[in-house]
Structure 1
């Protein structure tokens, strides 16, 4: 799969003499016209692609489908195609490692417009996460505004906004 970008968080100056934890994840890209299925998270005031960490030895496509169903209630997932890989190095705030190396495998897919019930994890619900169909350009502008002016922004907003801009270019 094509590498879309490798991003280093500003706090990660070097990997030399650092312990690095690698986390494999997937991201789902479901588009219908100019609308895209995203997750809005109230805590961070941002839009992100559905997705998350792979279970140990889980197939990437199986994990992508599992995460998409859990977070959005997506039905009839089909036409799955690789879009690219986004790698990032960011601070790890637990005592066992210094840096997290997140590798996100992104896939496009078609799904039904109507969503079923989601099965979000407790922290996702607590953070005010909800699945929404939104115009991709509105989501990009919203994230850019959050990056520029909000103290609530999370570490993933740069990744998500980069990916959304890349996706928007690919559909025009």
Structure 2
């Protein structure tokens, strides 16, 4: 059997200034949105709640979910990056940030978190994720 796209979910967290949260990943040597693969039989909401808690100690409240989009974005992994997957196919969850919510890196996923204007997306290195992220922000109506 050939490689497939890993099913994943990404958070587009928007603050009161209409900025979105991205982070620098020392592991990937690039910026990215909070995101991650879905566990077997895990739904999108459970997946994004888990990922945000694992990566940022962020407790997502369901009433802060602005939208879960049907449209997905995908990006291929670099060659020989993963033994099972050729890339990720991401469902997008748009979230209204709570000012009292933690955004503290919890593992090697991120070492720096920043809020950026969506129009400034191109100013940061996302490696092979750039087109997918631009599509995601467009789907969210942010660019």
TM-score, length-scaled by structure 1: 0.63
2:105 aligned partner: 118
* Higher RCO (C-alpha under 8 Å, 6+ residues apart): 2
Q: Could you tell me which of 72, 77, 89 is aligned with 1:85? A: 72
- Report the alpha carbon displacement of residue 31 of structure 1 after superposing the two structures with TM: 0.9
State the superposition RMSD in angstroms.
Answer: 2.9
CA contact (8 A) 1:86 1:105 kept: yes
Structure (1 or 2) with the larger CA radius of gyration: 1
TM-score, length-scaled by structure 2: 0.73
2:8 aligned partner: 25
SS in 2 for 1:30: strand
1:104 aligned partner: 90
Listed one character per residue, the Cα deviations across residues 26-75 of structure 1 (whole Å, up to 9, x for unaligned) are 011111232112223356343x2211111122121100111122222323
Runs of 4+ that moved beyond 4 A: 89-92, 94-97
Looking at structure 1, the residues matched to 12 and 78 of structure 2 have their Cα atoms a distance apart, in angstroms, of 26
Structure 2, unpaired ranges of 5+? none
Looking at structure 2, the residues matched to 24 and 104 of structure 1 have their Cα atoms a distance apart, in angstroms, of 6
1:133 aligned partner: 115
Count of residue pairs the alignment pairs up:
137
CA contact (8 A) 1:72 1:131 kept: no
